[in-house]
Amino acid sequence: MQRNQNPFVASAEVYSDDIFFGRQDIINQVSDFVEESQNPLFIITGQRRIGKTSLLKRIENKLRKITDNVVYFTLQGENESPLYELATTVLSALSDYQNYEGIFDSEMNTEKICDIFLKQLKLEQIQPEKSVLLFDEFDVLLKAELSFFDNAISDNHKFVDFIEILAKKCKNQNFPLKIIIAIGRNYKELDNKRLGQLMKYSETAEIKYFDKETLQNLLQISAKDVKFEQESIDEIWNLTGGQPFLAQSIAFVAFETATKQEQNFVSQKIAKGVVNIVLRRFETGIVSVWDNFNKTDKLILSVISSIYEEEETITHENIVNYIKQKNYSLETSEINLSIERLLNNEYLIKNPDNSYQFKSVILHKWIFKKAIQ
């Protein structure tokens, strides 16, 4: 039997339109924003490994049908870059990579850099109404500002302030440069003290888990030569809860397993049987999700995972009692806030009887095996 090419992508962003599913509402929303909105800024939020980069790439492709001047930046690895260097790079990209070395320097404050930035765009006669900046991994710089300077942020690293001032000036001067940023956080968890001013000039959208219909389309349409039986689709839904990275991971290994067994279908048995392989091969991605939790949320998830493994009903009372039994130092108010966050971020589900369960069984399995000491 000829080996079929695996269409699923678990370790990187999804580039092909053939295997990109869902999110069309956000793509349309951003497209309308670029063409019609008076606001200069659009903020996309979503947890780690939920598909923000893949979405930004799709948005970039869509916007290139409107204008050629669409510039994508990932801020990953830029946590130590001073503002004047980043501003130079962005301006150069918007100006067809002209050389602007020396136009900004380390002595300039954030507002001065913004003024020169906009002045230069006007001098170069760049068509701002047809220019879009897309910034991925924006939270990298948010974390860097706080960790490096302990809230006393150097002017050389105030990229968040740069975007805020730039957005304000674009709004006030009717200078329709559009800025789209992606932040690896739930919208409700954004630091309003740090980002509150940005919100004045922005529209927002939040990336959620796949619904079951989107997951089904992903599995049935992507794998043209290897059919996912309905029972296997149901199993993958139960295992992942529609978490995009986990869904792609288990689909990748299930497809690979069926192909190696020279089968042209993925059965429920195959889907269920590849879980441990997924946990080993794609652990780095799961760890990146885990590392994004704060200390309290990690503890609550570990407690819930332990209760789940003991096959007890996960109730609020059981969680509190377990924490007391283990002598963990955690107030009831902290427990309640943590559970609320985990529900909002779709890591937990609240059942009609007020009990809780993991939305993704795979996440529970990893936590119980790897995270609980």
Structure tokens, 40 = 């200069």
Identify which has the larger pLDDT, 130 or 154: 130
**Residue 219's pLDDT band (cuts 50, 70, 90):** very high
Tokens 């990893």, residue located? 366
**Residue 152's pLDDT band (cuts 50, 70, 90):** very low
Q: What does the pLDDT read at residue 95?
A: 78
Q: What does the pLDDT read at residue 21?
A: 81
For residue 185, the Cα-to-chain-centroid distance in whole angstroms is 7
Share of the chain residues as helix, strand and coil, in percent rounded to the nearest 5: 55, 10, 35
Mean pLDDT of the 134-138 span: 90
Q: What does the pLDDT read at residue 305?
A: 94
Task: Please report the domains of the chain, with CATH numbers, ordered by start residue.
Answer: 23-206 (3.40.50.300), 212-287 (1.10.8), 293-371 (1.10.10.10)
Structure tokens, 215 = 């997951």
Q: What is the pLDDT of residues 173-213, one digit of tens each?
A: 888 789 999 988 765 666 566 666 777 788 899 999 999 99
For residue 284, the Cα-to-chain-centroid distance in whole angstroms is 16
Check: CB of residue 254 under 8 Å from CB of residue 271.
yes
Top mean pLDDT of 158-172, 174-188, 246-260 is at 246-260
Q: What does the pLDDT read at residue 278?
A: 95
Least confident of 44-53, 119-128, 141-150, 358-367: 141-150
With CA atoms as reference, report the closest residue to 265 among 218, 231, 217. Answer: 231
Cα separation, 348 vs 358, whole angstroms: 5
Handedness of CA 209, 213, 217, 219 (dihedral sign): positive
Mean pLDDT of the 289-316 span: 92
DSSP 310-337: TT--B-HHHHHHHHHHTT----HHHHHH
Q: What does the pLDDT read at residue 145?
A: 56
Count other C-beta atoms under 10 Å from residue 164's C-beta.
Answer: 23
Mean pLDDT of the 88-104 span: 84
Q: What does the pLDDT read at residue 81?
A: 80
Please state the φ and ψ torsions of residue 299, each to the nearest 5 degrees: -65, -45
**Per the confidence metrics, is the pTM higher than 0.75?**
yes
Q: What is the pLDDT of residues 64-86, one digit of tens each?
A: 888 878 889 888 877 678 889 98
Average pLDDT score, the chain: 86
Q: What does the pLDDT read at residue 147?
A: 47
Return all residues near 133 (Cβ < 8 A) that are at least 6 apart. 71, 73, 90, 94, 177, 178, 179, 180
Q: What does the pLDDT read at residue 1?
A: 46
Q: What does the pLDDT read at residue 186?
A: 65
What's the CA angle centered on 184, arms 347 and 364, to 5 degrees? Answer: 25
